[in-house]
Structure 1
């Protein structure tokens, strides 16, 4: 076999990234270089601001319908204004800044400004309340806050500040409030030029801290370096397959890591414009209308969104401009994949990654998707599936997904959990980062998600992953979404429970429960069948849209009577 030649990528990315493709155009290797002082704001956005000043960086739609076409020159100048403004307020290199800005266009100015200063951005959800902010302030040692004026966010932050005196600057975007600096009113007084300091932050300096989604425990803080954006080049070019002349829409609130995956770093490394709709509440018909009206070319959304979309009249919208659809955040049930493909002709390209990583596994360009599979390991990461004792799993055997780091730490992998060496060592040891997610690999190197290590159900000697059972339940036409968890069982140790949300118009009845049980008896091996079927109105989720199975399980296991519920 001929050694594949690494060739620099086109455009601004080529200075930092080289790739090698096989004869079918499938990505096989990637190399990162000249990145010792890399800073995305200076080395990508400002370069593009001078190279192609009039090129659209983002088409932004406010919740009132106002359109703003923001160019790379605008991004360069307004991020510089914002950097000058923040420095005037006392924000400096190394400071930790909590940013709660929904999908406001000022989020992008703020992120880039903090990069230029060398401060550390901490994205946060606008759904947080006083106790959440109190925890984040102390855990991250927050120095400053930039907040939306929408809703009660600023009020909740003020409440949290009563027990935390470390905040030296509070900036409000979109309004005026006592005790806060007004971004919209004050930004105009600051210069649009910002000179890169001789000691500017970059490379392996800390840049970004994410609070994890907290699906199984209180949120940890995953810290990333200034090289982290480079790790999302594959995300954008080979998974999203963004078009430099198109528009990319990723459904994500800016309070979560997925926004950095789909609304900023990789897309602009590929010089591709992004589309942002600053809505308060998700409505499938609104998003579909946007896809049609603005001729969106690439689209990424969590499985939660696709589950809603397939129950909408997709045929009523012209989606002919849409060329690629992707999903991540949770495993995608094959039933949803098939329904979306039947309605649109698009094959959803699934991916897998974590707050601690970039895209680790994915159905990349040139790889044929297999419904229910996450795809194949990214060339960026050396992935293995291992048993609890660390030995490799056989083909088809379920084990934990781990990333090899003994040779080198891949670009995109986190630095560790901020101020928590113990938790870092628990997941990163002996030359491997342990993801805590389980899967199996087939003979063609496709990976198939099983569940979180903590989600595995141990019943009558079997280790059962929830995803396979959930995928069968999703085949029922009256099911919108579901979650499979364990409940106590005196004989088996653990039994299986299915919590099911029905589509609108379907009534939860005993007869429907019996029909569901009958279907599952025919579809699943006896040890995988749910003993309890519970029809619920909603499933508990993080604000990033992930189902909190741990919360369902905790509620069931903490019940005093631990009743078995309705039996089959």
Structure 2
């Protein structure tokens, strides 16, 4: 039996497709047209009203009930204690309606109110995502590693009226409550009870499953993410119902290669925007199963034990996997791998291909966008490249004035926003009109990332604008030096930053975690060997003039190296001297 309705065998425009359930439009993309044809057909018109819960999830539930969707669950959660949760789209719908009634009832929240959710990878996080959409409540996700100071800042800046967290983090929230004048309710996720807190599990048991989804406009706010900049406190990035709710249709199908038959495992922490990308919107737009393994440490055995077809994790995690040689494992169901969040080293790409027979399809985007560039399924992969622009984006490399630079010339990666701003861009930096205005130069939104574009339109990442090392007039991106170093067998992990120098202004410094077999080697000889290695692999002027061996590198909860931490420490030493 076909997975898709027969009537979707003709060509229609975006405008006409909105008369049908949105998930059927995604199926139309899958069945009827190729990647480039789909873009030529789109008229880039949005519906006036759109809500992901009712227009996508509920439609998958209907198709599921009619037997027109593969039997995979919508959501599949496991942990290391042997617990397991599976929800069909219909069950997700029923439970999320109950949760929406909890938010609107016991928590006293109204449409447009903001809620902070600081939770680990527990099923309730996904449930609350959908519940907020149904109730028109703006969700603000946060990582479980937030400190009391972080929570306090977010409560004040967002004016959130409710916070949802675990019993582990509840004490940190309580320690900052005296200064949280906007907070009206506190919801705890877990088995225990706590004075002054509502318990989600208890409320769900008595909540009604009868809930009418709020009719949200496409451009109404849906999500707010706090994202760090080069200076000042984290900014609030506001995303609308259409930007993420519709914006991942193309990349979900053509970058992540998802269909209703797929089971996708994305390892991202719930506080990181990649969780929204690859654990909510992209897979559920395509009717795929979202797989979650709640575990203290990443385990590659998960790919062997469960029928995962699509795998997404950070480049750092792929690097760790190939170092342990995953060729000794069998991944019988795995057929597609994607990565993002930081640049992927060509060496890692090559080793993964050798060990598994699979490519890693790198994608690139920001909290402010959906996927900007990607190595789509079927494209030629150029190792080290971010791939080509993902429609509807027009991606160019621009100079400081916003003018497009020639192929091969370095500049800032920019997205064209004039004369038409892509619908899948962020709405604004909330309460920061100056920053919102400053993000645009000429006709382009500036990502703040440096790159180049070759004559075939492939984009090559150089580094964050603030990470670029300017040594005696030479501009050096840390990624290229890191890529050279990881090719040496002595290097297990590495981060490259600028270090102050009285002659050159700044020089390249490498912080290196050694492979176990090289820990006892003579450090001076090893440093010289590594420097010579970099000179041979890349331009000689890019070699690290300073090298420091360390036990570990500072990383975020999602495994991204925090170069800024190392850079700040390095320059702080200079100020202290």
Smaller-chain TM-score bracket: over 0.9
TM-superposed CA distance for 1:166, in Å, is 1.5
1:195 equivalent among 206, 212, 230: 212
**Counterpart position of 2:226:** 211
1:248 paired with 2:282, answer no
Q: TM-score w.r.t. structure 2 length?
A: 0.91
Task: Tell me the equivalent position of 1:126.
Answer: 144
CA deviations 1:178-214 (Å, max 9, x no partner) are 21111112211111121134xx323111110011155
Match of 2:23 in 1: 13
- Deviation at residue 14 of structure 1 after TM alignment: 3.7
Contact kept, 8 Å, 2:230 with 2:466, in 1: the verdict is: no
What TM-score do you get using the length of structure 1 for normalisation?
0.92
Which residue of structure 2 aligns with residue 503 of structure 1?
Answer: 515
Structure 1 runs not aligned, ≥5 long: 564-568
- What is the rounded CA distance, in whole Å, between the counterparts of 2:344 and 2:31 in structure 1? 27
Identify if the C-alpha distance between structure 1 residues 191 and 561 changes in structure 2 by more than 3 Å, giving closer, same or farther: closer
The equivalent residue for 2:400 is: 388
Change (3 A) 1:20 1:434: farther
1:456 to 458, 468, 485: 468
Task: Select 1:275's aligned residue among 264, 280, 291.
Answer: 291
Partner of 2:455: 443
Return 525-534 or 258-267, whichever deviates more.
Answer: 525-534
State the alpha-carbon separation in 2 of the partners of residues 79 and 561 from structure 1. 53
- Quote the offset at 1:72 in angstroms: 0.4
Q: Which moved more, 1:303-312 or 1:538-547?
A: 538-547
Q: Secondary structure at the match of 1:540?
A: coil
| 8 Å Cα contact 1:6-1:18 kept in structure 2 | no
1:111 equivalent in structure 2: 129
**2:273 — aligned with what?**
257
Q: CA deviation at 1:25?
A: 5.6
Change (3 A) 1:218 1:478: farther
Distance 1:492 1:42 in 2: 59
2:449–2:464 contact (8 Å) kept in structure 1 = yes
In the TM superposition, what is the alpha-carbon distance from 1:461 to its structure 2 partner? Answer: 1.3
Change (3 A) 1:68 1:19: closer
* 2:499 aligned partner: 487
Deviation of 1:22 (Å): 11
CA contact (8 A) 1:93 1:201 kept: no
| Equivalent position to 2:549, from 516, 530, 535 | 535
1:140 to 158, 173, 179: 158
Deviation larger for 69-78 or 23-32: 23-32
Seen in structure 2, the aligned counterparts of structure 1 residues 354 and 222 have a Cα distance that, compared at 3 Å, is same
* 61-70 vs 439-448, which moves further: 61-70
1: distance between equivalents of 2:230 and 2:279? 23
Query: Which of 116-125 and 457-466 deviates more?
Result: 457-466
- For the 8 Å contact 1:45–1:76, the answer to whether it is kept is yes
Q: CA deviation at 1:432?
A: 1.9
Cα shift at 1:511? 2.8
1:159 and 2:169 equivalent? Answer: no
How far apart are the structure 2 equivalents of 1:63 and 1:143?
A: 34
Q: CA RMSD in A?
A: 2.3
Aligned residue for 1:305?
A: 317
Q: Deviations over 1:164-185 (max 9, x none)?
A: 1221111111132121111112
1:180 is aligned, of 177, 197, 218, to 197
**Alignment correspondent of 1:230:** 246
